[in-house]
């Protein structure tokens, strides 16, 4: 599995050059034109990739305090499910909005 690098630069030529250079050296490169785009792309993907890459059944069944209600505990599996469902909802609304813009 290749290591993934997210590079950020506002110049498309530099982004393209750096992405090619990284890929030639064995990395998987993703490029973003600004910090907001990079953060939006990286935050949930990185979180879920890290969790799932190391996940074992024992880890997924481990109970941890809910950060919003510490007196309640939830399994890691439940937390992963919530993040995945929220990501799906964001994607669904983004597709809906793009479809609306294309139809306008």
Position 98 scores a pLDDT of 66
What's the rounded mean pLDDT across residues 90-95? Answer: 63
Name the fold adopted by 1-54. Answer: Rossmann fold (3.40.50)
Is residue 27's pLDDT more than 80?
Answer: yes
Q: Looking at 1-104, which runs of residues are DSSP E strands?
A: 4-8, 28-32, 63-66, 69-75
Is residue 55's pLDDT more than 60?
Answer: yes
Is residue 104's pLDDT more than 60?
Answer: no
Higher-scoring residue by pLDDT: 91, 49: 49
What's the rounded mean pLDDT across residues 26-31? Answer: 85
């Amino acid at each position: 599995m290749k290591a993934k690098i997210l590079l950020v630069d506002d110049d498309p030529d530099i982004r393209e050059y750096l992405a090619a250079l990284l890929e030639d050296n064995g990395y998987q490169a993703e490029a973003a034109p600004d910090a907001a785009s990079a953060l939006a792309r990286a935050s949930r993907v990185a979180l879920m990739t890290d969790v799932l890459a190391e996940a074992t059944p024992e880890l997924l069944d481990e109970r941890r305090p809910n950060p919003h209600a510490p007196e309640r505990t939830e399994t890691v599996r439940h937390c992963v499910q919530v993040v995945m469902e929220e990501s799906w909802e964001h994607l669904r609304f983004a597709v809906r909005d793009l479809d609306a813009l294309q139809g306008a």
